[in-house]
Copies of this chain bind each other. A is one copy, B any other.
């Protein structure tokens, strides 16, 4: 690796770091190449040696954020038989990352950036955190622990087909109803975090971590996860 390559890698990282600061200050729509360049003491046109356009920089930030969240989830994940514990850990890890990186969380799970269309490159990184959930669910199903609740609503044929496809893709061993329960638990998990970070729980609940933990537990019960024996 030549000095030039090293310098290039370092500056690319610095540009992204400065862009993340921008994101926090002015949101995704206000991300400005000139401001990034200014923060680094460069001339604005120099950024174009590293990113061909503003949107490409934004894409890089999105990919990095998904990768950071995915890496955090993977790092905290275990493979044991304590599926409830794995669910709780995953949920808490996601929330902690979100609370620590609210603007990146908003970039991923908030309103889409108007005029920006995410390229396909963002899909694999986006899948990482979901895969951790899916692995837990598959293991739980294999251990016979994703018990159906008393009265599961019937499914439309379309939804049944969708859930079957999802099961084949990344949740092996789950039946349609169990996949649907996973989807609901998943949207419930992110819904709670979004409500917290986007200000809809202000003046409603004081200790957000407590509510989140409570919600996680109830969502786990809904999933059919019971404490390990």
Contacts and interface: CB of A to CB of B under 8 A. Distances in A.
Interface of A: 25-30, 106-107, 109-115, 118, 149-153, 155-156, 158-159, 161-162, 166, 180-181, 183-184, 187-192, 194-195, 198-200, 204-207, 210-211, 213-215, 217-219, 221-222
Question: Copy number in this complex?
Answer: 2
A152 B110 CA distance: 31
A225 to B, nearest CB: 12
A64 to B, nearest CB: 18
B155 A214 contact: yes
B214 A159 contact: yes
Given A27-B113, A111-B27, A195-B187, A214 B162 contact: no
Given A190-B191, A219-B184, A158 B214 contact: no
Given A29-B27, A215-B184, A194 B192 contact: no
Nearest to A159: B210
> Which interface residue of A115, A166, A194 has the most chain B CB atoms within 10 A?
A194
Contacts of A204: 162, 166, 183
A43 to B, nearest CB: 26
A192 B184 contact: yes
A184 B213 CA distance: 11
Contact of A111 (B149, B151, B158, B198): B198
A177 to B, nearest CB: 9
B153 A218 contact: yes
Contacts of A166: 204
